[in-house]
Chains A and B, each alone.
Chain A
Amino acid sequence: MKEISKKTKQSLATYILVIAFYAVCEIWLKTGNMSSLMEGLLVPLCYYMILAVSLNIVVGISGELSLGHAGFMCVGAFTGAIFAVTAGANLPELLELVIAIFLGAAVSAVFGFLIGIPVLRLRGDYLAIVTLAFGEIIKNVINAIYLGVDSAGFHISIKDALSLNLAEDGTTIIKGAQGITGLPRNANFTIGIILLLISLFIIQNLINSRQGRAIMAIRDNRIAAESIGLSVSKYKMMAFVISAALAGVAGVLYAHNLSTLQATPKNFGYNMSIMILVFVVLGGIGNIKGSMIAAVILTILPEKLRFLSDYRMLIYAVVLIAMMLFNSAPKAIAFRERLMESINLKRNKNIKEEA
């Protein structure tokens, strides 16, 4: 009983943190004190937080290293964007966005499932490299695709826009590397926060459910879990697919926040996957709240370092290394523990001399 209430308290604290964040930002925005930069960052912060918590399902709960998370985001983004410029173009904004989100999540989940079949047979670093490979394949293929639509339906080509052979009334939707343009920009901060809360709800429920416990059991000891009859592939797949679907949601949000969508090494390459992984690792693997906070810090940090001009990314790298060392080095952890202890024991006269 006590155990459960503690867990509920923890998840409640996470929701409250998000809602408080929303309230502070809204007040800040409404009073007109927010800089344009911060205003522009609000929606990105939401999708980065969603990405961080969704990757945490795979890395933290399922215990697998995935380096291809941006690939699922890419799938979601392009699914949402294609819907937005075709069938969704005449729908009311909000309805369009909601359908796009469902579509993006569904298609990403399908991709997650298909990719999960081969990937989840592998272990450790081999699994990591295969997810990286899938991410790169998705990006590479999207860059080569030309997609057009006319009265006869969809046309697809991997050569160029001309070979689509569109009828007079046709339009090109994806123009290879030039991507999709003319997207509606109807994502906003409120929707972003709602999606984040829904993602959190899904994840918190998963962790506290029977399935979640099974997934964690498999992470902690695969053989023991298998021996008590847990289906390893089923539960791993479950975590992988949910994670992919939520990444797809973040992708739809990404696509609806920009008027143009291209798959570049910058936004959907392995660099982005690694960036999301950094959020997770820095925030504490498996720690949902921590990964959200890390996502916020690491998204705002490079922007706030702009005054350093040329040295900006250099300092960012130094800060990243320093944070990792402070966070994970056994000596730093021991030092922090001693520090905490000495604070706690201040009142007590009998401090044992250590060090």
Chain B
Amino acid sequence: MSSFISYFINGISLGSVYAIIALGYTMVYGIAKMLNFAHGDIIMVGGFTTYVITSTMGMSPMVGILSAVVVCTVLGVAIERIAYKPLRGASSLSVLITAIGVSYFLQNAALIIFGADTKSFQSVINVPPIVLADGAITISGVTTVTVLSCIVILIALTTFINKTKTGQAMLAVSEDKGAATLMGINVNRTIAVTFAIGSALAAIAGVLLCSAYPTLSSTTGAMPGIKAFVAAVFGGIGSIPGAMIGGIVLGVIENLSKAYISSQLSDAIVFSVLIIVLLVKPTGLMGKQIQEKV
């Protein structure tokens, strides 16, 4: 039993990292209607920024996290301005391919700047682990912090979207871009704000990811990015609570299938579950049903 709980907690700890990444994914998708494949690489940039500030320059972790947020926000907005904005109105596939180009760019720029050798990230989170059942079960400090930040971000985002003018504007843009423009909403500005928030979330996700799994290289963000994308779809892409649930469920399934079915095939199992969920609920766990009009 205690091992089952351990597997479960491992799953939640991995899943909460996916969830935080998926939140950024789903925000951008909901408003800009694009799959931002470069999201995972912004996470990597956030990780590297924190690494440089705390390990290389020896400043406090707080400074590290804040500068990661600033750098990623600026980067996210810049990418949007340079690469995505000119393509507004073009087919969504063109934007997808451009996002992939941006992803290659960030990975290879990081490779040139920081070199090919993997860095070992020093966790910036110093929260003591919670030990239960006489040491049979340990919940690491990073897990606690990740789950808590996940919940805080979820509440903050929901409040922001429902209570502020900008948030309402985002909702309007995600509903109907044309109508929102007619209502006097600055669509470009709203999308830029979305990218800023999404990238800031990516920075936080980067810090948490690297604290939980302390390794850092130019491709660090790629696979978690894809997994989080799957998590976002799983929960219903565009839905904020869906992303959170999707992330955690994905992490738990991944770990339980590793534990009880096959560690070689855990990726295949995760993807199969995704397919099954989509067959039962074609728009994910919490996605909106789209009514087709003739």
Contact = CB atoms under 8 A, between A and B. Distances in A.
Q: Is there any pair of Cβ atoms, one from A and one from B, under 8 angstroms apart in the complex?
A: yes
A121 B281 CA distance: 11
Interface residues of B, number: 47
Contacts of B101: 317-318, 320-321, 324
A328 B87 contact: yes
B292 interface: yes
Interface string A120-143: 011101101110111011001101
A89 interface: no
B32 to A, nearest CB: 13
B97 interface: yes
Contact of A285 (B88, B91, B278, B292): B91
Interface stretch (A42-50, A92-100, A308-316): A308-316
Interface stretch (A19-27, A275-283, A337-345): A275-283
Interface of A is mostly: helix
A281 B97 contact: yes
A306 interface: no
B274 A129 contact: yes
Interface string B261-272: 010110110011
Interface stretch (B128-136, B164-172, B226-234): B226-234
Given A158-B262, A325-B98, A121 B109 contact: no
Given A282-B97, A325-B87, A133 B105 contact: no
A134 B98 contact: no
Contacts of A132: 226
Contacts of B125: none
A332 B86 contact: yes
Interface in B261-291: 262, 264-265, 267-268, 271-272, 274-275, 278-279, 282-284, 290
A130 B275 contact: yes
A270 B226 CA distance: 10
A118 interface: yes
A299 interface: no
B112 A310 contact: yes
B268 A126 contact: no
B97 A126 contact: no
B108 interface: yes
Interface in A33-66: 59, 65
Given A126-B233, A274-B100, A317 B105 contact: yes
Contact of A314 (B29, B86, B109, B284): B109
A224 B60 CA distance: 62
Nearest to B29: A125
Residue with the greatest number of chain B CB neighbours at <10 A, chosen from A270, A277, A321: A321
Contacts of A281: 93-94, 96-97
A331 B94 CA distance: 14
Most buried by A among B229, B230, B233: B233
Contacts of A136: 267-268, 271
A316 to B, nearest CB: 7
Contacts of A191: none
B268 A325 contact: no
A175 B209 CA distance: 33
Contacts of A59: 93
B198 to A, nearest CB: 17
Contact of A125 (B35, B112, B262): B35
18 contacts: A65-B93, A118-B279, A125-B35, A126-B278, A137-B268, A158-B264, A278-B100, A282-B97, A285-B91, A313-B104, A313-B107, A317-B108, A318-B105, A320-B97, A321-B98, A324-B87, A330-B88, A332-B86
Which 3 pairs across A and B sit closest by C-beta, in order of nearness?
A: A328-B94, A317-B104, A317-B105
